[in-house]
Chains A and B, each alone.
Chain A
Amino acid sequence: MEAAIEEKTIKIKESNDVVTVRREAREYAEKLGFNLLEQTKIVTAASEIARNAIVFGGGGIARFTTIEKPDKRGLQISFIDHGPGIEDIEAAMKDGYTTGGGLGLGLGGTKRLMDEFHIRSEPGKGTSVTIVKYL
């Protein structure tokens, strides 16, 4: 038996939508029963990936899914954009790598904050990042 309940998709386009993503992430994390530290990690990670999708990917969607498996419960958030994609994912994951004058911490840092981190990107097609945290 495997069920995913409560799915919600929101559009992300403007820089203010990062705040909306943070609020949704907080609400989901709280409702699922994550403690304050875990909530903070999830919200921070979501903020990073949402901003990347908006700034580099020209916007897209954020999808929140609660994971309800017999042995595992958690929160999954996927970000999908149809921007230019990432040429060299391995390089992009490295701390300090940035093409946007940032700190280059978003991707690497998010991977450290979450339990699962999946990234797929195709140049010219877009980027999707899925992050998961288990209770």
Chain B
Amino acid sequence: MEHIPILKMGEYLLVSIQVDMHDQLAITLQNDLAEKIAKTGAKGVLIDISALDIVDSFIGRMLGNIASISKVLGAETVLVGMQPAVAITLVELGLSLKGMHTALNVEKGMQLLSRLTGKDQDYTSRKQ
């Protein structure tokens, strides 16, 4: 079965969706992430969707599920890199992705995750 790779980086899990998301793949990702969070005790999940050229109601629902499941398992989820055309279409479709944390790119997403999890991953810099 096809899986989307999940990378571990410190206390965070990183997912970059590079393929056309068919429904089963989205469900598999949801389950894989739940397992991996439980196994690693990850505190945050960053999902890069910059390569996704659409988000429809099914994919949107899966992304929302991932955020909810992660939360229950003690991890915050940040969605990054949504293309502007995808964002506009999503809102018109009626999907608000309410309650999901989003950021413009991976770097900003990592900063947001640090704040959400109350940690500064960059130990050399001091918290303000």
Contact = CB atoms under 8 A, between A and B. Distances in A.
Main secondary structure of the interface of B (DSSP, over half): helix
Contacts of B20: 19, 22-23
Interface size classification for chain A? 20 to 34
Contact of A105 (B24, B84, B85, B94): B94
A22 B54 contact: yes
A19 B59 CA distance: 12
Interface string A49-61: 0010000000000
A47 interface: yes
> Chain A interface mostly helix, strand, loop or mixed?
helix
A112 B54 contact: no
A37 B93 CA distance: 13
A113 B93 CA distance: 7
A55 to B, nearest CB: 9
B93 A18 contact: no
Given A43-B54, A51-B23, A51-B58, A36 B93 contact: no
A109 B57 contact: yes
